[in-house]
C-alpha cells in the first residue's frame, strides 16, 4: 500500500473516532542495535494495567527557547466525571480556543491537571479552522461541559485527513500526558502549523479507581501550549499513519455469536457505519498476500513510500488488547532499520518516541508495521471483562482494536 493512499484515505480507515495523528513531542528510552538500527522505545507500563496513576504533580515548565511563548488554556468550567453505569472510567473532550489571529507553529505542550486523584491521562488534539465548526456543533449539542469520546475527538467531520490541494490536514493528535510526565521537545527547528481560527480539543481520561468508584470531586485542568512564529527555515511537520489488519479470534475457552468474523464485522458496521465496518476486509486485501484474513495474535502490513521525507519520531496506537508494536524501514535488506519499537504497549501512555537521529526515507522504501494483540487481556481489563467475547477486528470502540504506527515526518526536496 502506498503512503499517499494511507494519508488521503485516513477518514475511511479510522471512522468517526479517526486520528489524523500528528505530534512533535517525544519521550524515549532509546537504544541501538548496531549501525543499522534506530530503536526508540515507547515507554510503557505492563499491558492491561489500566489503573489510576494518582498523586504525581506536573513537572515544572522547561525554559522557553528563542522566539517561543507560552499560551495557557483552561477548561471553561469544572467538570465532575460521570462514568457510564457500571464503569469507573470516563473519557471527556473539551474545546479550548487559543484565539490565534496569525499563523503559529506548535512546538510543545504540557497538560496541567487540577485533580490528580481522578486525572488518569490526557490527550491534546489540534483542530484546523475548516473543522472548527464541527467541533463547536458537537460541543453545543451535547448536554453539560464537553462530550464523551474515546480513541479520538469523537467528532464526525473533524477527524479527517485529505491530501487534496487546499484541504485541511485534519484534527491532529498533538500530545499525550500521564501524571509525572514532563513536556518534551524535538531538538530541530520544526513544528505543526496552526492557522488562525484553529482550536484545541482536550480529552481527559478520568478514572475513579482511587475513589472506589465514588465521585472524586470536580476537575478543571488546562493545557500550556508552546508556540513560535517560525522562520523561513522552520520545518513543517506532518503525520504518516501506518496501519495493519486486526484479526484476533476468540480464545479457546470463549464462545458466542460474535466469535464469528462476519458477525463481528456486522456488529462494527451497526455501531459505526459502513466506512468503518468495511475497513477490516479492505485492509486484508491491501496487506495480505492472497487477500485472505490471517487469524492470529500478530498482523503486519508493508507501506511503500512515494515522497522523500525526514522521520523524526513515532508512536504506536492500539486499544486495550495491544501487547506490542514495531515499525521497520526496508526490513530484510542490508539497510534495514527499526524506527519504532514498543515491546510493552500501554494504552494510557501513548507518548512519542523520537529517533536518536532523524532518518531520511526515499520513494520506493518500505515501511512495515507489525502489531501483536492478546485476547487473554479481555479478562484482565475491567472495561472489557463484561463485554461478550468477540472476534476482534478494526473498530472505534473500547472492545474493538486498531494497529497504527504513527510517524512524525517533514517533507524534503528529492
> Could you state, in order of their start, the residue ranges of all structural domains in the chain?
3-49+237-411, 68-233
- What is the average per-residue pLDDT within 375-394? 89
Q: For 142-157, give the DSSP string.
A: SSSSSEE-SSS---TT
CA distances from 220 to 67, 146, 288, 342, 399 (A): 29, 12, 46, 32, 29
Percentage with pLDDT > 70 across the chain: 79
Other CB atoms within 10 Å distance of the CB of residue 289: 6
- Do β-strands 353-361 and 309-317 pair in parallel, antiparallel, or remain unpaired? antiparallel
User: How far does Cα 374 stand from its chain's mean position?
Assistant: 19
What pLDDT is stored for residue 307 in this prediction?
95
What are the tens digits of pLDDT across the range 150-204?
767 888 655 434 333 333 346 777 777 877 777 768 889 999 889 999 999 999 9
- Do β-strands 29-31 and 39-41 pair in parallel, antiparallel, or remain unpaired? antiparallel
What are the tens digits of pLDDT across the range 111-140?
999 998 888 788 898 999 999 999 999 999
What pLDDT is stored for residue 160 in this prediction?
39
Contact 317, 350 (CB under 8 A): yes
The domain 68-233 having CATH identifier 2.40.50.140: the answer here is no
Among 222, 324, 223, 314, residue whose Cα is nearest residue 25:
314
pLDDT-derived band at 44, boundaries 50, 70, 90: very low
Residue 65 cell numbers, joined: 527557547
pLDDT-derived band at 40, boundaries 50, 70, 90: low
> φ and ψ at 399, to 5 degrees?
-85, -5
What pLDDT is stored for residue 76 in this prediction?
95
pTM: 0.76
CA angle 75, 78, 84 (to 5 degrees): 105
Amino acid at each position: 500500500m502506498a503512503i499517499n493512499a494511507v494519508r488521503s484515505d485516513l477518514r475511511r480507515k479510522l471512522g468517526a473516532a479517526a486520528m489524523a495523528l500528528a505530534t512533535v513531542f517525544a519521550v524515549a528510552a532509546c537504544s541501538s542495535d548496531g549501525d543499522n538500527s534506530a530503536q526508540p522505545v515507547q515507554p510503557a507500563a505492563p499491558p492491561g494495567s489500566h489503573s489510576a496513576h494518582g498523586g504525581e504533580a506536573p513537572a515544572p515548565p522547561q525554559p522557553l527557547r528563542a522566539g517561543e511563548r507560552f499560551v495557557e488554556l483552561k477548561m471553561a468550567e469544572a467538570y465532575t466525571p460521570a462514568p457510564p453505569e457500571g464503569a469507573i472510567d470516563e473519557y471527556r473532550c473539551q474545546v479550548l480556543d487559543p484565539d490565534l489571529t496569525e499563523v503559529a507553529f506548535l512546538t510543545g505542550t504540557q497538560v496541567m491537571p487540577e485533580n490528580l486523584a481522578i486525572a488518569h491521562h490526557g490527550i491534546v488534539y489540534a483542530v484546523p479552522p475548516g473543522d472548527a465548526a464541527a467541533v463547536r456543533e458537537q460541543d453545543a449539542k451535547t448536554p453539560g461541559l464537553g462530550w464523551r469520546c474515546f480513541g479520538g475527538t469523537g467528532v464526525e467531520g473533524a477527524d479527517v485527513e485529505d491530501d487534496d490541494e487546499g484541504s485541511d490536514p485534519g484534527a491532529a493528535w498533538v500530545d499525550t500526558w500521564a501524571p509525572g510526565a514532563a513536556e518534551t521537545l524535538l531538538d530541530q527547528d520544526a513544528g505543526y502549523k496552526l492557522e488562525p481560527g484553529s482550536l484545541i480539543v482536550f480529552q481527559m481520561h478520568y478514572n475513579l479507581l482511587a475513589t472506589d468508584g465514588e465521585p472524586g470531586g470536580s476537575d478543571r485542568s488546562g493545557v500550556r501550549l508552546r508556540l513560535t512564529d517560525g522562520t523561513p527555515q522552520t520545518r513543517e511537520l506532518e503525520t504518516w499513519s501506518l496501519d495493519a489488519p486486526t484479526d484476533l479470534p476468540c480464545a479457546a475457552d470463549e464462545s458466542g455469536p460474535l466469535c464469528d468474523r462476519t458477525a463481528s464485522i456486522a456488529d462494527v458496521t451497526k455501531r459505526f457505519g459502513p466506512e468503518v465496518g468495511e475497513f477490516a476486509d479492505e485492509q486484508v486485501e491491501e496487506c495480505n498476500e492472497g487477500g485472505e484474513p490471517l487469524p492470529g495474535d500478530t498482523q503486519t502490513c508493508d507501506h511503500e513510500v512515494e515522497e522523500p521525507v525526514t522521520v523524526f519520531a513515532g508512536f504506536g496506537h492500539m486499544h486495550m488488547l495491544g501487547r506490542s508494536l514495531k515499525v521497520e524501514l526496508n526490513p530484510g535488506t542490508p539497510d534495514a532499520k527499526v524506527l519504532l519499537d514498543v515491546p510493552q504497549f500501554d494504552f494510557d501512555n501513548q507518548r512519542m518516541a523520537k529517533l536518536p537521529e532523524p532518518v531520511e526515507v526515499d520513494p520506493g522504501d518500505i515501511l512495515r508495521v507489525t502489531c501483536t494483540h492478546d485476547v487473554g487481556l479481555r479478562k484482565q481489563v475491567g472495561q472489557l471483562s463484561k463485554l461478550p467475547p468477540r472476534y476482534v477486528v478494526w473498530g472505534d470502540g473500547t472492545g474493538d482494536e486498531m494497529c497504527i504506527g504513527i510517524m512524525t515526518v517533514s517533507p524534503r526536496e528529492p
